[in-house]
Amino acid sequence: MALPMTGTTHFRSRSLISKTKLHSVTGTSISMIIRNSHHQENAAGRLQHSLLPKLLPPLQFLASNFLPSALIGGVAFALMNPTPGCLAHRYQLSKFSIIGIFLISGLTLRSEEIGEAAEAWPVGLFALASILLLTPLLSKFMVQIHLQPQEFVTGLALYNCMPTAISSGVALTRLAGGNSALALAMTVLSSLLGILIVPFSISRLIAGGVGASVPANEMFRSLIVTVLIPLILGKVFRESIKGMADIVDNNRKHLSALGAILLSLIPWVQVSKSRPLLLMVKPQVVLVAVMMGAILHLVLLCFNAVSIQILCAVSGGSKSIFAKEDNYKTLLLVASQKTVSVLVAVVEQLGGTFGEPGLLVLPCVAAHISQVIIDSLIVGFWNKRKQSSLNNVKVL
């Protein structure tokens, strides 16, 4: 005989049934949530796998061509929005970037590299002759070219008489694995000697006897503050702080990338500052200035490359000090570059002697950017070839 269900028993039964249903519903919900999360994870994984093949080639290209990519990106950004670059110019960011480049150079400068630079004195001597005496002779023929505006030709002729670039040659030499100490010596000496030689070159080769002045005191101070002091400080930090040399040597790739970023800031600031002038000139005229600057640098590269081959042939062939790979790279890069900062100082001192100062400087800024981009592509090619050779050796 079935007993009648009391209220308490009935309540417990209903609670049990409710809990069972709730547990069933909750379990089903949790299962659905888990399935959805798995589905979302799988979808995210599929999306990631589908995007990776598309993203990897551009990322690999940017990594292997970091410096030219940074330079082109900086120039493009300056043309689109010059305000940040003009603000950076107001606070002399270019000067601080040069200080940073030479501080890094001092930090990474090994003592044995200084000895190698001293042994390569014939290479440095020819580089100085090429920078200050031989390549400026080309300016005598450049001024015979007639082009509108004529200031473009005159500006490039002036630019061709300048010392080597203050920062880019050293930075690119380090990226290429060249003789960094030799590049530093060539840069400093050509800048110091250029203060004496550049006025004579301009007067005899371009101005036809018209006197030209160079702000010697200002340039000396600038070289000491932006080049010599940071270089010495970097070397002192390396030698005096315990463990600093190991830290620097273990992070050379990161320091090289930082140097490339600092180098790319210079043309970014220059283009930002010159953008109003660029907009005033017809696009085809600007294109002509860019092409002329690039051609000038290619001519200097060819001249120095041929000169190196001749010097190798007359001084021992493959055993010549000029044939040594790090010396060859250093000489080709540093001796083929010119500085735009000294050119700007010279044009300011000359006033309107050779024409409108803005039009004189414009093709030189284009030439400076062109030379850094062209040389960074050459350095990238050298590094890829070297890496390919190392990979072949490992396979063997």
In-domain check, residue 22: no
In-domain check, residue 14: no
Q: How far is CA 141 from the centre of its chain?
A: 31
Check: CB of residue 85 under 8 Å from CB of residue 271: yes
**CB neighbours (10 Å) of residue 53?**
8
| Structural tokens at position 348 | 């300011």
pLDDT for 184: 87
Dist. CA 196–CA 334, nearest whole Å: 20
In-domain check, residue 231: yes
CA dihedral 140, 144, 150, 154 (to 10 degrees): 0
In-domain check, residue 144: yes
Chain segment 164-217, per-residue pLDDT in tens: 987 788 888 888 888 888 998 898 888 888 888 888 888 888 866 445 555 667
Q: Provide the CATH number for the domain around residue 299.
A: 1.20.1530.20
Residue 313 pLDDT more than 80? yes
Q: In total, how many domains does the chain have?
A: 1
Q: Sort residue 80 into left (φ over 0), alpha (ψ -120 to 50) or beta.
A: alpha
The residue segments making up the domain with residue 106 are 66-387
Dist. CA 128–CA 321, nearest whole Å: 16
Dist. CA 121–CA 103, nearest whole Å: 24
Residue 247 pLDDT more than 50? yes
Residue 359 pLDDT more than 80? no
* DSSP for 70-107, written as a single string: HHHHHHHHHHH--HHHHHHHHTTHHHHHHHHHHHHHHH
Dist. CA 226–CA 228, nearest whole Å: 7
In-domain check, residue 275: yes
In-domain check, residue 31: no
